[in-house]
Amino acid sequence: MSNFRQEQIVAESLSKIYGNGTTRVVALNDLNLYVGEKEFVAIVGPSGCGKSTFLHLVAGFETQTEGSILLNGNPIPGPGPDRGYVFQHSTLFPWRTVKKNILFGLEMQGCDRNLAEKISQKYIKMVGLEGFEDAYPHTLSGGMKQRAEIARVLAYDPQVLLLDEPFGALDAQTRKVMQMELERIWEQDKKTVILVTHSVIEAVYLADHVYVMTARPGTIKEDIRIDLPRPRNYMDPGFLEYRRRILEQLEEEVTKSMMIARG
């Protein structure tokens, strides 16, 4: 684990507890995590371990019970346009066209209309949705929706990207294409990214650091630095070795969480 306290995102002794009495759930317990500026970080862990909860805390959707979480040295004030969030299931607004969805963030921040128009065009092109600007989300396929989501979250240029299993609802082929797209986009315009995912391959392909989370209550088990040149090769022996290491760690936790589920 990195010991630099000047990292962009610093979580220390973080814990999140829901409910009380018989309904008490400790989602996160004593979690420590550090993310440097413009670093791409992935978090893997068994289902229900609290990965999404952690992401919610960074996003400001929820507040922690104990411990601290700082962004650029300051506590998280609540949701804001400096941290873009992509959910697992599409949160495109059904009542706005693709273009108007992408314009939303810019609109809300009072961006000049002509400039906003140009920006949205740039990102529509970048994610390959030209021709679909005036389509409504319900007419798009799953992959196209996620592309629109990514364009939407990039358009207003947040310094941090929080991705909560963004490709989870896609089929395997589309998923692979999207991973490569994300890699390509990130290389063009590096931001700080925290990616939560079930897929170890996805994590190794994209991230500088992969954090393995324990079963509930969630805390960080391992921090594995991925030292491979980009863009990475899924078949490369180095890649496969990292994958093996992480899977090993992960499987232990998956087994534990299944025992928790059984009660």
Residue 239 found at the interface with other proteins (CB under 8 A) = no
| The amino acid at 177 | V
Cα(231)–Cα(183) distance, integer angstroms: 7
Q: Provide, rounded to whole angstroms, the least separation between the CB of residue 112 and other proteins.
A: 15
Which range in 29-37, 116-124, 130-138, 243-251 contacts other proteins by CB under 8 A?
130-138
- The number of beta carbons lying within 10 Å of the beta carbon of residue 123 is 21
Closer residue to other proteins, CB minimum distance, 78 or 131? 78
Per the CB < 8 A criterion, the answer to whether 45 and 213 are in contact is: yes
Residue 21 found at the interface with other proteins (CB under 8 A) = no
Q: Provide, rounded to whole angstroms, the least separation between the CB of residue 111 and other proteins.
A: 10
Cα(54)–Cα(67) distance, integer angstroms: 12
Q: Provide, rounded to whole angstroms, the least separation between the CB of residue 153 and other proteins.
A: 8
Interface pick for other proteins out of 68, 109, 141, 255 (rule CB under 8 A)? 109
Interface pick for other proteins out of 89, 113, 125, 225 (rule CB under 8 A)? 89
Residues 69-88 that bind other proteins (CB under 8 A): 78-81, 83-85, 87
Task: List residues binding other proteins (CB under 8 A).
Answer: 59-61, 78-81, 83-85, 87, 89, 91, 93-95, 104-105, 108-109, 136-139, 152-153, 156
